A = this chain, B = another copy of it.
């Protein structure tokens, strides 16, 4: 329920208890610096998504590097971020249900809070709660630009909803949420770009229709780690939400760059540290990191820096490795780093980040919003 940290500051990485979520701090900081420099040169704002890291410690570092604030998906995440000092938050999601809406409206006493809508009744509910709490909420209309998940249709339906927002007491129409989630993991660079260029057309038309109706978009926000250069290129978005860039994962590393090579813009900084707990045969090693240590929804973890070692099966508490002829010995008790298949749900399995530099534990940060699902 509330687990002690698996490490102490100053200990060697090899002494960290496992499974543990570790951050290579040099790579992590380089990822933050590279993104900060990139968005400056692109002339666009960056509001990193905290659904990836769920950590006010990381959020504050992103803001210090130039980010305008944070995105999150859940009211509970927003509460943790505000308590940790983040002053400008976009809940890039619909918040439905009286209890949640009340908490969101109350939170706007302490920070600038924006939220997304795709339904007129939800607009009315948000307005009523904000009035009751004496607060103001920024509201973005979410449009579906190809993800086929939430959001109104672009164009006229978005304008109608924006007008309802603009007319609602205690709400301010703040712009459009336009995120093409399905494009993030299209492997080919050209196909991925095309998906965003297609989406941009829908966003541009919607912005124009809103302007024709007298509604200015302060924010046009969206984009992820897989596509943000394309959103920036279109000039339609003025804010990007990329979050995974700080950690990366095995799935994102399958995306290709313009030369058809593995895109190496950001490097892997997040790992699940595991221990070899059984060596039953010459070609099999079993680690203590299974389904409860790394989410497998986007594929199995990948051992880092070990030749000819493959993670072939995850059960609840075990990860089975197959060792090929060129594999290292992997003795019982040996520690190894695993690259998680998907960083966001993997982070949500852990209570602590263990930050490593030069083989030593330098920092321990809580995953403050772990489990903050509502």
Contacts and interface: CB of A to CB of B under 8 A. Distances in A.
A96 B288 contact: yes
A51 interface: yes
A309 interface: no
Contacts of A119: 278-279, 332
A181 B315 contact: yes
A71 to B, nearest CB: 12
A95 to B, nearest CB: 8
A295 B291 contact: yes
A288 B151 CA distance: 14
Interface in A315-355: 315-318, 320, 332-333, 342, 344-345, 348-351
A276 B150 CA distance: 11
A368 interface: yes
A370 B292 CA distance: 9
Interface string A15-33: 1011110000000000000
Contact of A3 (B296, B333, B349, B371): B371
A148 interface: yes
Interface size class of A (residues with CB under 8 A): 35 or more
A366 interface: yes
A121 B45 CA distance: 56
Contacts of A349: 348-349, 371, 373
Given A1-B370, A19-B374, A96-B333, 20 more contacts: A1-B80, A1-B369, A3-B372, A6-B374, A17-B99, A18-B97, A18-B374, A51-B316, A51-B317, A96-B277, A97-B275, A118-B280, A119-B279, A122-B332, A150-B280, A150-B318, A291-B342, A316-B344, A317-B373, A350-B373
21 contacts: A1-B369, A17-B99, A17-B374, A94-B278, A97-B275, A118-B278, A119-B278, A119-B279, A119-B332, A148-B320, A149-B286, A152-B280, A181-B315, A291-B342, A291-B344, A292-B373, A295-B295, A316-B344, A316-B345, A348-B349, A350-B371
